[in-house]
Amino acid sequence: MAQQKILIVDDEKLVRWSLRQKCEEWGYQVLEAEDGGTALRIAHNESPDAVLLDVRLPDLSGLEVLERLKQSGEGRAIILITGDPQLDDAKAAIKLGAYDFIGKPLDFDELGVTIQNALEATRLRTEVESLRGEVRRRTGYHDVVGVSRKMTELMNFVRKVAASEATTILIQGESGTGKDLIAKAIHYQSTRQDKPFVAINASAIPETLLEAELFGHERGAFTDAKAMKKGLFEVADEGTLFLDEIGELSPFLQAKMLRVLEDKVIRRVGGVRDIQVDVRVIAASNRDLERAVREGHFRQDLYYRLAIISIFIPPLRERKEDTLPLVDFFIDHYNRKFRKSIRGLTEETRRLLVNYDWPGNVRELKNAIERAMILEDEPDLRPTYLPFSVAQPHAGVTAFEHTSSPPAGGQPLENGRWLPPLLIPEGGTSLEEVERALVELALRQAGGNQTHAARLLDISRDALRYKMKKFGLMHADEEESAAPAGS
Give the residue numbers spanning the domain of 253: 142-314
Domain-embedded: residue 463: yes
End position of a domain, from candidates 267, 297, 314 = 314
Q: Are residues 349 and 452 in the same domain?
A: yes
Q: Are residues 326 and 302 in the same domain?
A: no
Residues 6+ apart with CB under 8 A from 345: 327, 353, 380, 381
Percent of the chain's residues with pLDDT above 70: 83
Q: 3-state DSSP call for residue 401?
A: strand
Domain-embedded: residue 185: yes
Q: Are residues 243 and 377 in the same domain?
A: no
Q: Are residues 157 and 105 in the same domain?
A: no
Tens of pLDDT, residue by residue over 208-250, are: 889 899 998 888 888 877 888 888 999 999 999 999 999 999 9
Q: Are residues 192 and 109 in the same domain?
A: no
Q: What H or E segment, with its residue span, contains residue 191?
A: none
CATH classification of the domain holding 173: 3.40.50.300
Domain-embedded: residue 242: yes
Tens of pLDDT, residue by residue over 271-291, are: 888 899 999 999 999 888 999
Domain count, the chain: 3
Q: Are residues 129 and 162 in the same domain?
A: no
Q: Are residues 309 and 325 in the same domain?
A: no
Buried b (16+ CB within 10 A) or exposed e, 270-281: eeeeebebebbb
Does 394 score more than 60 pLDDT? Answer: no
CATH classification of the domain holding 403: 1.10.8.60
* Long-range pairs of 378-384 with CB within 8 A, sequence gap ≥ 24: 379/341, 379/342, 379/343, 379/344, 380/342, 380/343, 380/344, 380/345, 380/346, 380/349, 381/331, 381/342, 381/344, 381/345, 381/346, 381/349, 382/346, 382/348, 382/349, 383/346, 383/348, 383/349, 383/352
End position of a domain, from candidates 135, 156, 185 = 135
Q: Are residues 148 and 244 in the same domain?
A: yes
From the list 103, 33, 90, the residue with the least C-alpha distance to 63 is 90
Domain-embedded: residue 487: no
Domain-embedded: residue 169: yes
Q: Are residues 307 and 411 in the same domain?
A: no
pLDDT band at 404 (very low <50, low <70, confident <90, very high): very low
Q: Are residues 290 and 346 in the same domain?
A: no
CATH classification of the domain holding 126: 3.40.50.2300
End position of a domain, from candidates 297, 314, 331 = 314
Lowest-pLDDT choice from 38-42, 45-49, 433-437 = 433-437
Q: Are residues 341 and 308 in the same domain?
A: no
Task: Tell me: cis bond preceding 105? Omega within 30 of 0 counts.
Answer: yes
Does 189 score more than 80 pLDDT? Answer: yes
Looking at per-residue confidence, does 257 or 471 come out higher?
257
Q: Are residues 344 and 226 in the same domain?
A: no
